[in-house]
Every structure is written in C-alpha cells, then in structure tokens.
Structure 1
Amino acid sequence: MFNGGMSDGVGSGRRITGVGVPPAAEISGHGLRLRPWRPESAEDAAAWLRGVRDPEFLRWNTPLRTVGSLDDARGSLRARLEEARQGVATAFCVTDAGSGAVLGHLGVNTVDPFLRTARVGYWVLPEARGRRVARRALALASAWGFEGAGLHRLELGHALGHDVSCRVAERCGYRFEGELRGAMFEAGRHDAFRNVHLHARLASDPYPPVDAPADGARPGGTRPGGADPDRNPRGADPGLGHGAV
C-alpha cells in the first residue's frame, strides 16, 4: 500500500495522508479465488481477449482502444500490473476455487488516495454466466477494498437499461444514488454518450448476505464475523457494471 501526502491548503503545515490500494492479493471465498492476472500466461491472455471482445461486453462497454490479439491482451494486462504498482488500481482474475478455471475479471479502479474512494467494475466470461460469479466476486473484492485496502467508499456504475447489473449492485449492498447524464460512451462510439446509474457502498454499510434472494428484494444483513481498452469515462473498467452474470 502506498501513502501520499498533501497540504491542507490553509497554511498550517498539516499533511493529509492518502492511501492507495495494495497490489492484488489472493482472496478465496464463496467458491471463488481472486488472484492477480498473469500477462505471460497464455491462458490468462486468451481469457482477457475473449472477455473484452465478447459481444455482450461490447454492448455495455466501449473500450478506448481495441484489443484484437493476444499481444494486445498481454499489453493490457501489463498495464494493469503497472497501475497496481502505482497503487491507483488493482485487477483481479476471477477463478473457480476448485478447478482454477478463469471465470472473469474484477477491478478496483480510479483510486482517490485522499478521499479513500475507488470504482469497481467486472466482466464474466460467457461460459461462467448464470452462476452468480459477479455477485460472489464483488462481495469478496468489496470486503478486501474496505478491510484490506482501507477504502471508505466504493462506486459501481452501469449503463442505463442494464437491469441485471443493477440487481448485482443492489444485492452486494451498493445503493442506488442517482443517474449521471452522459457519463459513458454509447455502444461502439466515442462521439456519443449515454447515461449511467451510480451505485455506491460505504465501509460502514452492513454486509449483505452473498446468497441474497433472486426475487428483486434489496439486500440486507449484518457484517459477517469472520477502459487502454480498460477505461471509459467515470471510471468505466472493461466490464464496469457489466451484468452478464
């Protein structure tokens, strides 16, 4: 974890200390293992390429740069590692805890070290959808963000109309806070914009149960014991709020 400092701006000489997220650690739970991406791994590069080229992903996300080859994918993953070294973002490869198969991606991005905020985003590979992968991974990464990285607030945004992602956010305790106008690129365009639903969760909010009901009820519960193509406006990770779960 890196620390930075800035003046309070009133001439007192007092320093305000900022906190950056540490590099991705291995996190296990809910049948998943979240680990760092490995740029030199053929399996990881192929999974990244498939994830960011998937038509469902591209329906809801418009990367700034095209990832069209395995070399491009490795370059994206190396950029992720560099961001992690700088403490400004952390990228997790979401895998099955039993088989080790790659299921998707979850990023903790756009870290503000002074307000201790970040934005989360994810995508899930087609063959892993329908298994609550996004919800389980988001629950793990959220706990890590608050308890492991010392963050105060996590935000999640998704394109207006992405109802599945809206439900994932709510069931993971991310409250709907409003609609942001023109905060994300339109699908396949860099010259037009669409609105975004903003959800957020605070470190002080209750931890919802991971097995939240599928009837649309909002999550509740208590704290348990125990787009590079990678960026869009407003912190859109490839797969920010991507609800193909």
Structure 2
Amino acid sequence: MAEIREQSLLEPAPAPHGQGLLLRPWDATSEEDARNWWRGRNDPEFRRWNTPMALERDFADARESLAAHVKQAAEGTGMPFCVTDEATGATLGHVGVHVTSRPMRTGRIGYWVLPEARGHHVASRALALAARWAFEEIGLHRMELGHATGHEASCRVAERGGFGYEGTLRDAMWEAGRHDAFRDCHLHARLSTDA
C-alpha cells in the first residue's frame, strides 16, 4: 500500500502544469504574491461563499494568512498552489491541497479564481491538475471538497474537475463573514482510482 510522503511538500518536484496552466507554490515573501492573495480573498464573490478560519480584515492579515498556508507546505500538511497562466506567468487564482488523514490517505482541496480569470474554466482545470498531483506525488487516495449550498458555479467546477457529488453536510460551513452561524455544504469527492 502506498504511503503519504512525510516530508515537506516544498521539496523539488515537477510543478503541476497542463491545459494552459502552471501551479507553483505561493511565495510568502513576495509582495506581488501577497497582493494577489489579498485581492483574491478580499473579492466580494469569494467572501460571499467562503469564510476562512481567520477572518482577513486587511492586507497585514492576508500576509499572515498566506504565510500560514505556506508553512503548511513546509510541515507536509498542505500545499497552496498559485494558479498561473503557463505562457505569461500571470496569477489567475489559487488551489490548495490539505492532508486530513495520513492513515486513510485522504485530503481536502479548495480553490478560488481572480475576477478577471473567471469564465475560462481556470478553476476546474486547476482542480484536476492539483488532484492528479495529490494522488501521484503525495500518495492520497481520496480527495474531498466542499462548497456552500447554492454555489452553483463551484458545483460545476467540482463536477468538471472529476469530483462527484456525494451529499449535503448540514451546518458544515460558516455563514459568509461570520464565525457564529452555520450553513449547509455540498460534499464532492474523487478517488485516485477514478477515471
């Protein structure tokens, strides 16, 4: 049986790429990366559907959030990928892989796309690339993703990325911008053995 890599996920490995995209690690020391991270996570559409564990109220909070995500990669518990245009290097969004159970070889994946990149299937292409990386490079068997009920665009992204709908989780996400109220979440998943 395959095992999940225990070491840092930042160690040199081929960068996931294809379908016009290149996924590279976010750089917490880069001013440009920090600004794009803040721009994506401060976007009204992102905030409508997502409430991060730590609410980011300003650019300094966003820098801390980015550094925390990059730290997960160094610890081997997650990998935040900056989604870029393979030809130009322009930042298009984010896709993040998080190991949730080493013994069960399961993980969670999430994504967002900058406003100017929406409508071009960037999220579904990035999702497919990151899932393949998680299965092949770190040995996950099951990847899950969740999105707020009613977020039809995210549902389509999941389906196009090979993540089938598995059900509705009650009160599994916070309401937009709150840590004191909950909303339901659709669960999607993909296995390493899926086509």
TM-score, shorter chain, exceeding 0.5: yes
- Is 2:138 the counterpart of 1:152? no
Deviation of 1:70 after TM superposition, in Å, equals 3.4
Alignment match of 2:19 (pick from 23, 30, 34)? 30
Aligned residue in 2 for 1:94: 83
| Contact 1:103–1:125 (Cα < 8 Å) also in 2 | yes
Among 191, 196, 215, the residue aligned to 2:180:
191
Structural RMSD (CA): 1.8
Give, in angstroms, the shift of residue 19 of structure 1: 4.4
Shift of the 95–18 alpha-carbon distance from structure 1 to 2, 3 Å rule, reads closer
Residue 57 of structure 2 corresponds to residue 68 of structure 1: yes
User: How far apart in 2 are the matches of 1:128 and 1:195?
Assistant: 27
More helix by share: 2
SS at 2:68 equivalent? helix
In structure 2, stretches of 5+ residues that fail to align are none
Matched, 1:122 2:111: yes
Shift of 1:172: 1.5
SS of the equivalent of 2:95 reads strand
For 1:48, which of 8, 15, 37 is the aligned residue? Answer: 37
Cα distance change of structure 1 residues 180 and 72 upon mapping to structure 2, 3 Å threshold = same
Displacement over 4 Å in runs of 4+? 17-22
TM-score by length of 2: 0.92
Match of 2:72 among 58, 80, 83: 83
**Corresponding position: 1:177 with 2:163:** no
The alpha carbon displacement at 1:20 in A equals 4.5
Structure with max Cα Rg:
1
CA contact (8 A) 1:22 1:90 kept: no
Unaligned runs of 5+ in 1: 1-16, 207-245
